[in-house]
Amino acid sequence: MTIFVPHKQNLTLFEKHRGTIETAINAVHQRIYYAAFPEMPSPAVYGENAEADQKQKFEAQLGNQFSRLKQNSDRWQVSSEQSPYTLKPLGISYPVFNDAAEYVKCSQAAWDEWKQTDAETRAGILVESLDRLKSSFYELAFATMHTTGQSYMMSFQASGPHAGDRALEAIALGYQELKRFPAKFTWEKPAGKVTLKLEKYITSVPKGVSLAIGCATFPTWNSVPGIYASLITGNPVISKPHPKAVYPIALVIAHIQEVLAENGFSPNLALLAVDTDEKLLTKELAENPNVKIIDFTGSSSFGHYIENLPGKCTFTEKAGVNSVIIDSVANLQAMAQNVAFSACLYSGQMCTAPQNIFVPKDGITVGSEKISFEDVKKAIVEAFEGIINHPKMGPAVLAALQSEMTHKRVMEANLLGGKVLLETKPLPNSEFPEARTAGPVIIELPASDHKIYARELFGPIVFIVATENTEESVKLAASIAQEHGSISCGAYTTDENKMKMIAERMAYAGTPVSFNLTGGIYVNQHAGFSDFHVTGGNPAGNACFTDPEFVLKRFTRSSVRINLN
């Protein structure tokens, strides 16, 4: 007898991409460096005229219908997208349904064959979609830049190659979990003169409609792990981007739909649900009883709402308050430059950006020399000023502020309290003179001003906090992580015992630590296939990119036993 036979099986694309999938699986287990998509723009890799051609494609898309989606729809909706560089609306319209229920209904209708398709067919289709996405990396960069305010280079890397690697990571891990156990086997048990025989089958059962709720600052990097994890495990997906950042993820969904349709599957397996600031769909979609899985990136308050919805399997990344603990360093300037760059990168709008810098009030050791708290402050402020005042580096590193709310928060930061060490100022951008910018603010506080610095203040707002000693610095960083959440932690010490102490205490606070970073490695960076992003061990989120649980919770295993005696 044969049961659980895939309704539709096509191994052509799996065989095409088998090497990539196997390499990705190996990298996931070995945690070694692996990048399926080169992170630097390169004519040799991405095409001689690709950048110019795709810039023209981006410009032609502005003010027009995004007609590359193959999904069903009722009408066209102009998005709320506005460029943080020009402050002009993008004017792009997207196909939409009239209500949230239609998206769920359409998603369910497309699900039947996909859920009964083998893992190889799914994996081949999904990796093919990533392979084709490479042809849009430059357009993705311009789309991301003009929705999020990221710099061009960060936009290219984060929305293209880095997002592609994270998606491939989810596919690889999901594929392996689906193949972990045999689909069919014979079970025999000696029972005296007879042997009991059963034929057993194991099948993976996807949970149902998956909803991916995107954020405004990293619309693809934060969304694709959940989208691809749900698709590889057999679930249909509705991608609900932030109203201000639709274009980048629309490109991703368009490529997925294209490959699905070419291989005989409904493109509605991956739907884009676009809403506007005036009429949001998120809660209606999330509360629909047929939505079983939710991936969310965004604020803590809304994330808490998502996590507490009954009957949902949720994966969240929320706000975090990230710390830098300075105890002792080998090179003061190298440390200060690294910390400043990390805090300035994309104007502190990365979820891994440091906010609180804890320094003992009696100073630190630099090599064999003791230096004062004042000297540490001075080095850090000067490092920030070096970036801000550099005519080329400043605009490239700090980029633009995604929202007016963030801009207002930075402009009013001097009212928070404490001693302002560095005031914000506009950052001139010769290419985009209208860009929404505000330089970093640095404020000195005593450790007792816990209520000011123990909450996330999104944007380029940095606190230098004077503590009694390194012990108190660690205690504060760990308690903030446990109470409010933290995604990253930087630490500087030349003392091996203190390094062990910091690593252990922050681990129990659910926060990874990067020690003594200088040069070209920054606390912001989490590498696909190697670094786990968010631990799920503190209030910053309940999930992790990408551990086995990230895919395992999206399906269940069912078994059948047939008596052969």
Is residue 444 scored above 80 in pLDDT?
Answer: yes
128 belongs to a structural domain: yes
5 belongs to a structural domain: no
Q: What is the pLDDT of residue 272?
A: 98
For residues 375 and 255, state if they share a domain. Answer: no
- The two tokens of residue 562 are 């047939």
Q: Which of 231, 537, 276 is nearest to 223 (CA)?
A: 231
Q: What is the pLDDT of residue 140?
A: 98
Whole-number Å distance between alpha carbons of 466 and 480:
16
Burial 12-31, CB ≥16 within 10 A → b, else e: ebbeebeebbeebbebbeee
Tokens 């493109």, residue located: 267
Please list the helix, strand and coil fractions of the chain in percent, rounded to the nearest 5, in that order. 40, 20, 40
For residues 218 and 333, state if they share a domain. Answer: no
CATH number, domain of 163, equals 3.40.605.10
Is residue 376 scored above 80 in pLDDT?
Answer: yes
Q: 275, 290, 319: which is the final residue of a domain? A: 319
Domain with 236 in it? 47-177+205-319
- The two tokens of residue 331 are 């090179």
Which pLDDT band holds residue 494 (cuts at 50, 70, 90)? very high
74 belongs to a structural domain: yes
Please report how the helices 119-133 and 163-178 are oriented relative to each other, as an axis angle in degrees rounded to 10.
Answer: 170
Q: State the DSSP string of 125-140.
A: HHHHHHHHHGGGHHHH
20 belongs to a structural domain: no
pLDDT digits (tens, 9 = 90+) for 171-200: 999 999 999 999 999 999 999 999 999 999
For residues 99 and 237, state if they share a domain. Answer: yes
Regarding predicted confidence, which is higher, 185 or 10?
Answer: 185
pLDDT over 70 percentage in the chain: 99
CB 440 within 8 A of CB 460: yes
For residues 312 and 432, state if they share a domain. Answer: no
474 belongs to a structural domain: yes
SS3 of residue 15 by DSSP: helix
Q: What do you get for the CA distance between the two ends of the chain, in Å?
A: 14
CB 439 within 8 A of CB 407: no
For residues 303 and 404, state if they share a domain. Answer: no
- The two tokens of residue 470 are 């390194």
Q: Which of 325, 330, 333, 338 is nearest to 365 (CA)?
A: 330
Is residue 3 scored above 70 in pLDDT?
Answer: no
Which pLDDT band holds residue 296 (cuts at 50, 70, 90)? very high
521 belongs to a structural domain: no
Q: What is the pLDDT of residue 449?
A: 97
CB 272 within 8 A of CB 94: yes
- The two tokens of residue 454 are 């123990």
Is 203 buried (19+), middle (13-18) or exposed (0-12) by CB count in 10 A? middle
Task: Write the CB contacts of 321 (distance below 8 Å, at least 6 apart in sequence).
Answer: 355, 356, 453, 454, 455, 456, 480, 481, 484, 485, 486
Any bridge partners for residue 95, and if so which? Answer: 76
pLDDT digits (tens, 9 = 90+) for 104-152: 999 999 999 999 999 999 999 999 999 999 999 999 999 999 999 999 9
The stretch 539-555 carries a mean pLDDT of: 96
For residues 275 and 394, state if they share a domain. Answer: no
The stretch 213-228 carries a mean pLDDT of: 98
Which pLDDT band holds residue 418 (cuts at 50, 70, 90)? very high
pLDDT digits (tens, 9 = 90+) for 46-103: 999 999 999 999 999 999 999 999 999 999 999 999 999 999 999 999 999 999 999 9
For residues 332 and 284, state if they share a domain. Answer: no
The pTM of the full predicted model, rounded to 2 decimals, is: 0.96
User: In this structure, what are the phi and psi dihedrals at residue 370, rounded to the nearest 5 degrees?
Assistant: -90, 130
Tokens 């590359």, residue located: 68
3-state secondary structure 515-528: ECCCCCCCCCCCCC
The stretch 319-335 carries a mean pLDDT of: 97
Regarding predicted confidence, which is higher, 8 or 345?
Answer: 345
Q: What is the pLDDT of residue 6?
A: 75
For residues 334 and 436, state if they share a domain. Answer: yes
The stretch 297-316 carries a mean pLDDT of: 97
For residues 99 and 230, state if they share a domain. Answer: yes
Task: Write the CB contacts of 100 (distance below 8 Å, at least 6 apart in sequence).
Answer: 273, 281, 284, 285, 288
The stretch 407-413 carries a mean pLDDT of: 97
Whole-number Å distance between alpha carbons of 191 and 506:
54
Q: What is the pLDDT of residue 215?
A: 97
Whole-number Å distance between alpha carbons of 1 and 263:
28
The DSSP code for 161 is I
Is residue 338 scored above 90 in pLDDT?
Answer: yes
Q: Which amino acid is at 308?
A: N
Q: What is the CA radius of gyration of the chain?
A: 25
Q: What is the pLDDT of residue 43?
A: 87
Distance of CA 215 to the CA centre of its chain: 9
Q: Which of 211, 204, 207 is nearest to 316 (CA)?
A: 211
For residues 444 and 380, state if they share a domain. Answer: yes
Task: Write the CB contacts of 79 (distance below 8 Å, at least 6 apart in sequence).
Answer: 90, 92, 93, 94, 243, 246, 247, 274, 276
* Average pLDDT of the chain to the nearest whole number: 96
543 belongs to a structural domain: no
Task: Write the CB contacts of 390 (distance below 8 Å, at least 6 apart in sequence).
Answer: none
SS3 of residue 16 by DSSP: helix
Q: 474, 496, 515: which is the final residue of a domain? A: 515
For residues 402 and 476, state if they share a domain. Answer: yes
Overall domain count for the chain: 2
Is residue 1 scored above 60 in pLDDT?
Answer: no
Handedness of CA 291, 295, 298, 304 (dihedral sign): positive
Is residue 11 scored above 60 in pLDDT?
Answer: yes
For residues 173 and 293, state if they share a domain. Answer: yes
Is residue 451 scored above 90 in pLDDT?
Answer: yes
Q: Which of 447, 404, 435, 439 is nearest to 423 (CA)?
A: 439
Q: 286, 319, 352: which is the final residue of a domain? A: 319
343 belongs to a structural domain: yes
CATH number, domain of 465, equals 3.40.309.10
Q: Which amino acid is at 274?
A: V
CB 148 within 8 A of CB 217: yes
Is residue 445 scored above 80 in pLDDT?
Answer: yes
Q: Distances from the Cα of 561 to the Cαs of 181, 198, 231, 459, 487, in angstroms? A: 15, 6, 28, 57, 45
The CA-based angle 235-215-556, given to 5 degrees, is 20
Q: What is the pLDDT of residue 5?
A: 67
- The two tokens of residue 136 are 């849009």
Q: What is the pLDDT of residue 10?
A: 84
